[in-house]
A and B are shown apart, each in its own frame.
Chain A
Amino acid sequence: MRGLLKFGIKVRAFYRAPIWRRILNFVSRHNAIILLLTVCCGATTIGTFVVRDMREANIEAEEIYTRSVHGLQRIGELQYYTQETRRATLYALTTSDSNFQVEYADQSRAADQRVKDGIAEYARQGEQPAEKDLANRLTIDWEKYLSVRDEVLASILEGSTKEAVSLDLSKGVPAFELVRQDLNEVKGLYEQDAARRQANLVTVSRSSTSRLIGFLCFTFLLSIAAVWAIQRSRVLSTVQLAKLQMEFVASVSHELRTPLSVLRSAADNLADGLVEGKTALRRYGAILQHQSRSMGELVDQILLFASTEDGKNRYSLRPLEVTPIIESIRADTETLVKEAGFTLDPIIEPDLPLAVGDRTGIMQCLHNLIGNAVKYGGDADKRIVLRVDTAPLERGSDRELRIAVSDHGMGIESSELARIFDPFYRSPRVQAVQIHGTGLGLSLAKRIAESMGGRLSVVSGLSTGSTFTLHLQIAKGQEMTMATTVSRPMSSFTR
């Protein structure tokens, strides 16, 4: 049950964020993988084209080979059977036995039928006008020769050998020569077609080679660019982190040194006996208390950040009533707010639903936001508004619970809004006006919000102030039931 609930909260938390933010988060987290995937996709796409070209070239080559072989075979057969037709006819001259003569005539006719079939196939398969014309001419010339051949055969069978020879020489030979010329032309056309197809193949092959080279160059350049981008990103991140850490160390040193100096001088005065009287002692006690508390809070914040940084921070998520938490945070920050001359005005919507979260997490988050409001709230309007209400989600029909902390201070430049949640980031403007800090508060608040399945948003304008809003899920259905029946934590959520 707890597992299901935890999974549901995770999924809902993910899908509640706007799509562009989810994409940006995903890209920023997986930039190296995305670059490599892009390279792979590019390589695959171009590779597909290259493979397609190569396959086309192979098919073309196979077709050329098949056509050439088939064509040569067909021409060879045609030439053989035309010769066979004539040869069998002339063989009939070599005998006076009518039975043999009839057999030779039969052979001649069988051969001429093969020639007719071959010509018909050639005519059927001819694609170009020249091929069709030639097929027609060959058919006519072959028919002319056959009519002479029939006369020659008849003369041979009749026993008129001289007449047969004379007819063959006068008409048969020229007619057969025409057929041979036609066949030579057929062969020439085949050769031309093969040459044309070969030229096409060479062109396709060259194109494939060019694409392959282009593909290799592209992949190489893309890989270099990807590696360079990854390395640069890492170096920049490292440099930026180092810079931020240096600034952080400087800030922390400064933040620690200030109360430490006060503590030391107060301790020195007390040790030297310079403090006399109850009133002075109480004042020194208050100073020591305040400074030591400040140092403690600073150390707590650093430790908390470190714990969220390594992913070990855990919150027990459960349905919570928010109003008591608001009361608690108001009480906790009362001194801080009052001492800075601010007022904290809670505006709480009646009949608030239960929110999913962790009491400590919400307290830490709001403490940071109120601390920021005090720090950057300016001097003009020292009013901090703590507004709690519900609103519909950006996506879907569900609602969410919002806790907004608004100040009327210096505000944040729009160009800085994207960076204010980065760890250790401190605006140059606040550094310039000597507002001290570690740059961890907002980063920490954001992490806490997300650890609870919520999020942190900001709306700000220069000199008009800023509003930071903690968005929490509203407990519903089963969570509500469990909230009323189970007093222990329902689940623990690890970021």
Chain B
Amino acid sequence: MAELTPPSEPLAIVVNRSNPLDNLSSAELHTIFLGGRGYWTNGRRITLVMREPGEPERKTILRDVCGMDEEQFKTHFLRGLYTGEILVSPKILATPSGVRKFIFNVPGAIGYLRISDVDATVKVVRLNELLPEDKGYRLHVQNQAVN
């Protein structure tokens, strides 16, 4: 039996609704997700929200944004925290609703959600001027393979 190509779903970058940010470039997103930037332009501290290791969304971010695998990512943050280059480690949330609620409660939070998990409590940020529904949007999460 031939294996079917699993369908993909856009992965949205989301921030708190009070955040004035509307667009991020791929480079900015890379810097933020690797802890290279500590504050937003409004002075709020950036809090990175990640899903647990092994989740498809996390894999997508690590692969398409950070350009790392899980081990490299962990090592990067351990070194950054140790050297003081990074002040706060990413917050790990178990569920999409947890991510939503965290971002809703923390003005400086940034995270990612499948487009189907996005609701009005969070704000979707354009990536390279593209919304997740737009053609050419580069972040897509692969769903589980269907036999």
Please list the residues of chain A having a beta carbon within 8 angstroms of any beta carbon in chain B. Answer: 98-99, 101-102, 105-106, 150, 153-154, 157-160
Contacts and interface: CB of A to CB of B under 8 A. Distances in A.
A150 B106 CA distance: 8
B49 to A, nearest CB: 8
Given A102-B93, A154-B106, A160-B45, 19 more contacts: A98-B49, A98-B91, A98-B93, A99-B92, A99-B93, A99-B94, A99-B98, A101-B102, A153-B105, A157-B47, A157-B102, A157-B106, A158-B45, A158-B88, A158-B106, A158-B108, A158-B109, A159-B88, A159-B91
A115 to B, nearest CB: 18
Question: B88, B91, B94: which has the most chain A beta carbons within 10 Å?
Answer: B91
Interface in B81-136: 88, 91-95, 98, 101-102, 105-109
Contact of A158 (B47, B95, B101): B47
A99 B91 CA distance: 9
B91 A157 contact: yes
Interface residues of B, number: 17
Nearest to B49: A98
10 contacts: A98-B49, A99-B93, A99-B98, A102-B101, A106-B101, A157-B105, A158-B45, A159-B47, A159-B88, A160-B45
Contacts of B94: 99
- Max chain B CB contacts within 10 Å: which of A98, A101, A153? A98
A168 to B, nearest CB: 15
A78 B93 CA distance: 32
A160 B98 CA distance: 19
Contacts of A101: 102
Contact of B92 (A98, A106, A157, A158): A98
Contacts of A106: 101
B102 A102 contact: yes
Contacts of A160: 45
B103 to A, nearest CB: 9
Contacts of B106: 153-154, 157-158
Contacts of B98: 98-99, 102
